[in-house]
Chain A
Amino acid sequence: MMSKENKLIFIVDDDSDYLFQIETMVKNMGFEVKTAESQAQAEKMLESMKPDLCIFDLMMENEDSGFILSYKAKKKYPNMPIIMATAATADTGYSFDLYGEDNKGWIKADVYLEKGLRADQLHREINKLLKL
């Protein structure tokens, strides 16, 4: 089993305070962390790196930046787990057109977590997805 130290977590959020806090939290768990502050910046960075796990904010420069990023990331790295972090509660009822029950297959995230999660809760979810 690969040691934790080799795992790279890519965190993307347009709120710089929140990004700093999560980066600190995840680094304290023993992971390597890279960050981006926008969907555009994240897309660029994904061209030249392969994270072991991603945490994307849902709403950034677009209302569905997280969904779009997730879709593109999964296309590039189909087995890379993705956590969607959202301050807007729950995936249902958020957007009425594209992301209803029938289109759930379109949404490529593995887990939805509400922002404000405690460190131990987040750590558990990450470990589960990375099979550690």
Chain B
Amino acid sequence: MATLHVLIVDDEPGIRSGVCRILSNFTVGYAFMDEDFDFNLIEAGTGEEAVEILSKQQVDVVLLDNKLPGMDGIEVLETIKKQDYDLAVVMITSYASLDLAVKATKNGAFNFMPKPFTPNELRASIENVAKHLYLKRMTRKMQIEGKQIRFQFLSVLSHELKSPINAVEGYLKMMQERQLGDKIEDYDKMVERSLIRLRGMRNLIMDMLDLTKIESGKKERKLRDIELGTIAQTAMDTMEPYSIQKNVKMTLQKSGNTYLLADADEMEIVFNNLISNAVKYNKDNGKVDVAIVDQGSSIKITVTDTGIGMSPDDMEKIFQDFVRIKNSKTKEITGTGLGLSIAKKMVEQHNGTITVSSIPDEGTTFEVTLPRN
């Protein structure tokens, strides 16, 4: 239960106690709010008192009468606007002229409630305000979070790009200074490492382009009936050279109707990423089993490997941008850390789900469920 602080500003004590009574047992809740609101009532008999209270404590809603001795409601409103308090104002007034309404609205009043009002009218108005406040605050929170997330992403990205640049530059400098002598073949390893790091950068840039296209919604989606088995097979064929190197056996099993209305590029990305990981993180002489199963209203794709597996901690992180599991077993494995993040986004574009289960040293299974629409 969250509490909203309501300040009732009215020179008539009867009004104030009435409002307190009506709102004291009142709670507001909506499906999209994770907790209900109840109300804490604060009273002020004059505009000056109200301004004083507002300067000292957090208030969320102000019920403001215009007719007050001394400072009137509009002036209180102006003060609130000047101080930029995070709250909503409902003007309650027995004399509501158009002129007053315009002035109040210009100064940021959220709503009007003419006196006399019934308890139900008050409750309805408060419900409205509570919902508005909740949405306004959630939006602001998400905007701040969005900025933080973007900043964090860019920081990590700049690190991911600078590292290979520094590495290649370092090797070239060592060659320039002939640090290993005058024989060019002594520099073979450095040249090879440099080429590997450059390849990594290129992959990273291509993944980034995919990601930005997805995020900006600019990737045109072409939906047609696709036989997922063909896409899986193409991905497996692409990984064949690598799988031969490690002697990893790949199998594909289909059951039922494996046609799906989907975007072919997206499905290709999903299969490529999952199957590539299954081979890369596999043990020598291991297996990769791909299964596409018709489940009626959805299709289930599973990719199982007999690879090095991962811990529950790792599983929590792997769908995040740039996360790659780094330990002694994965040292030689290359990757950008974006593959699963992109695959997950593709799956979600299709309103599907992707999950992972794994046992360290035994293997990992990725399960993708795609609804038919």
A residues whose Cβ falls under 8 Å from a Cβ of B: 14-18, 21, 24, 28, 38, 59-61, 63, 87-89, 94, 96, 115-116
Contact = CB atoms under 8 A, between A and B. Distances in A.
A14 B327 CA distance: 10
B171 A17 contact: yes
A63 B174 CA distance: 29
B167 A15 contact: yes
A38 B174 contact: no
Contacts of B242: none
B148 A96 contact: yes
B326 A21 contact: no
A14 B158 CA distance: 16
Given A88-B155, A94-B155, A21 B171 contact: yes
A104 B281 CA distance: 40
A11 to B, nearest CB: 13
B158 A88 contact: yes
Contact of A116 (B169, B171, B193): B169
A46 B268 CA distance: 47
A96 B151 contact: yes
Given A15-B163, A15-B166, A116-B166, 8 more contacts: A17-B167, A21-B167, A21-B174, A59-B156, A87-B158, A87-B162, A87-B163, A88-B155
B238 interface: no
Contact of A18 (B155, B167, B327): B167
A38 B151 CA distance: 25
Contact of B326 (A18, A38, A94, A96): A38
Interface of B: 148, 151, 155-156, 158-159, 162-163, 166-167, 169-171, 174, 179, 193, 197, 326-327, 331
A18 B162 contact: no
Contact of B166 (A59, A61, A87): A87
Contacts of A94: 155
B179 A17 contact: no
30 contacts: A14-B326, A15-B163, A15-B166, A15-B167, A16-B331, A17-B170, A17-B171, A17-B197, A18-B166, A18-B167, A18-B170, A21-B167, A21-B171, A21-B174, A24-B174, A24-B179, A28-B179, A59-B156, A59-B159, A87-B158, A87-B159, A87-B162, A88-B155, A88-B159, A88-B162, A89-B158, A94-B155, A96-B148, A116-B166, A116-B170
Contacts of A28: 179
Contacts of A38: 326-327
A38, A59, A61, A115: most-surrounded residue (chain B CB, <10 A): A115
A115 B162 contact: yes
A15, A17, A28: most-surrounded residue (chain B CB, <10 A): A17
Nearest to B162: A87
Nearest to A85: B166
A17 B200 CA distance: 13
A57 to B, nearest CB: 9
Contacts of B155: 88, 94
Nearest to A61: B326
Contacts of A14: 326
Contacts of B327: 38
Contacts of A63: 156
A40 to B, nearest CB: 9
Nearest to A97: B148
Nearest to B148: A96
